[in-house]
A and B are shown apart, each in its own frame.
Chain A
Amino acid sequence: MGKKKSKVVQYNRWGYIFMIPFLVTYLIFQLIPLITTVYNSFFENYRSGLKQIGPNFIGFQNYATIFGNPDLWKYFGNTMIMWIAGFIPQIFFSLLLGAWFTDTSLRLKGQRFWKTVIYLPNLIMASAFAMLFFTLFGDSGPINSMLTSMGIVSAPIKFLSQTGTARGLVAFMNFIMWFGNTTILLMAGMMGIDPSLFEAAQVDGATATQVFWKITLPLLRPILVYTMITSLIGGLQMFDVPQILTNGTGDPARNTMTLIMYLNKHLFSKNFGLAGALSVFLFIVTGILSLIVFKITVRKEK
């Protein structure tokens, strides 16, 4: 008895050993940078042309500057609006396609082809994709010339000069780039559901819609949580697409400026103090939002 226990303990030592690479890497490349980022946020530290100003300790003044600026909340709002506008169609079509692909009674042909195709946009560099959209949706670009020649609109739509269309384009690109990825992840979850459950439901005469709502969706919750959390993290990191599409300006009227674009502006002018304060703010916001999403779903599960 005693002997057996000690052997288990001996095995369990391996738990620590297997954790070492992760922990060491994390410590060096993420924890130390995180600490220095926080540290930087308390200093005045920027470059004025060829001169270096600081670092001078100034306490919470960087935070006061950041929070005293109403624009911060505007950029936060922009980020969330564009994320949600892309995420809703993303999750809708992913669930729909996932359900169809896994529905054995539908017997969709060419599944591998469809899956390969819908995942493809996820491969293209976001910057390259944004660049492409910038050309396509120009005032006299191909989309406008198509729309006018078909008589749908009389004058070209200035996609990037109007808040709605500019945000819409960003959201649409996020949707196109990510719904294939989400579909694959959700399918992994759907196929993990015991097939006997579906068979039993069919025997009981349940319709496909009923099966989806009563069996698939509830059992899918863990994967949905995963999808939502990662998408939220990705959404808050939104940078490449609006940056390239608007040439870094976040226009019209800075309504497509995201938090990371704002951070990038400070990083670019080497204003490490303000960039540090902004990073800490982002860190906190990311944490809170993730916690909320996590809590809501955990409660429902109970």
Chain B
Amino acid sequence: MNKTQKEPTNSVHARRAIAYVVLVILSFLCLFWFAILFVNATRSHGELTKGFTLIPSTHLPENWSGLIHGTLPVLNGLINSVVVAGSAAILCTYFSTMTAYAIHAYDFKLKKFFFTFILAIMMIPAQVTSLGFLQLIQKMKLEDNLIPLILPAIAAPVTFFYMKQYMDSTLSLSLVEAARIDGAGEFKIFNNIVLPLMKPAIAVQAIFTFVSSWNNYFIPALILHKDKMKTLPVLIAQLRSADFLKFDMGQVYMMIAFSIFPVIVVYLILSRYIVAGVALGGVKE
């Protein structure tokens, strides 16, 4: 008994060691850049041009005040970005779940058509229609407005697809039937029973949507022209422009750090839900 147990234990040890080595290397590749970013945000422009080091310097407050008192309305940008990414995440997950539920729980004539249709349009990148989108926004006089960055999130085929898959594997219709027998309305069933059950999937997709909206540069750059309305990536691009009066790399790094930090905070808060959500997805099978 003891002898047969020993062989696999050794191989498990070896595999575990390999796993840790690989994980450490990959983690290094992931964190190294963040470390540089934050170190560089503490260094003055002069120090930065002199070369590279991993030792933080003392110029963090200067870079910070330079950024805050500079011409770029970074605090406005932060608020705009939070409003856009937050609203988009909420609308996107709520309505994608609703759409997925429509396909999942009901049997209607055009169901198959709609499902195939959504799968088909899932492949269309936003850039492909950006030309028409821009013309539409101009006609609707919604330039310099955050609405065109938020509302389209309601129709998100990729999130829909994820929700649908999650429902296929976890959402049992017997619960819905039970609620119907208790006399609950369809809308109420969706909000009170289906949504809570979908929480893990919603958390995962809320993060994905938030992040992609937060980092989105292509469309906002086309729509937002007034400084006060701009989101952070648009402002970052502006700070980066090769212009001798703004040529302070310390501030540039500070700005980058400033725009990724909120995302990291949001992520650290929600990462618990992601991991738990992933685990739950397995149990519910």
Contact = CB atoms under 8 A, between A and B. Distances in A.
Is chain B in direct contact with chain A in the complex (CB below 8 A)? Answer: yes
Interface of A: 8, 11-19, 21-23, 25-26, 28-30, 32-37, 39-40, 93, 96-97, 100, 105-108, 111-112, 114-129, 131-133, 135-136, 141-142, 145, 176, 179-181, 184, 187-188, 190-195, 208, 222-223, 226, 229-230, 233, 236-237, 239-240, 260, 263-264, 267, 272, 275-276, 279, 282-283, 286-287, 290
13 contacts: A15-B107, A16-B108, A21-B154, A29-B133, A108-B20, A116-B271, A120-B34, A121-B30, A125-B259, A127-B236, A188-B281, A191-B279, A239-B127
Interface of B: 8, 12, 15-16, 19-20, 22-23, 26-27, 29-31, 33-34, 36-37, 51-52, 95-96, 98-99, 101-103, 105-108, 110-111, 114, 118, 120-133, 135-136, 148, 151-152, 154-155, 158, 160-162, 165, 169, 180, 186-187, 190, 204, 208, 211, 214-215, 217-218, 222, 232-233, 236-237, 240, 249, 252, 256, 259-260, 263-264, 267-268, 271, 274-275, 277-279, 281-282, 285
B127 A129 contact: no
A178 to B, nearest CB: 12
Contacts of A112: 271, 275
Contacts of B136: 28-29, 32-33, 36
Given A106-B15, A108-B16, A14 B237 contact: no
A221 B107 CA distance: 27
A37 B107 contact: no
Given A12-B106, A123-B211, A142-B51, A22 B281 contact: no
Nearest to A115: B275
A13 B108 CA distance: 7
Contacts of A176: 29-30
Provide the main secondary structure of the chain B interface. Answer: helix
B108 A15 contact: yes
A240 B217 contact: yes
Given A26-B155, A106-B16, A184 B278 contact: yes
Contacts of B27: 114, 117-118
Contact of B186 (A14, A122, A128, A263): A14
Nearest to A125: B215
B151 A29 contact: yes
Given A25-B154, A125-B217, A286 B128 contact: yes
A15 B102 contact: yes
Contacts of A118: 26-27, 30
A34 B161 contact: no
Most chain A C-beta atoms within 10 Å of own C-beta, residue among B23, B96, B256: B23
A129 B215 CA distance: 11
A40 B129 CA distance: 11
Contacts of A190: 282
A111 B279 CA distance: 12
Contacts of B128: 34, 37, 279, 282-283, 286
Contacts of B135: 33, 36, 40
B158 to A, nearest CB: 6
A29 B36 contact: no
A260 B152 contact: no
B98 A191 contact: no
Nearest to A284: B128
B264 A120 contact: yes
Contact of B131 (A33, A106, A239): A33
A18 B98 contact: yes
Contacts of B96: 22
A8 B127 CA distance: 41
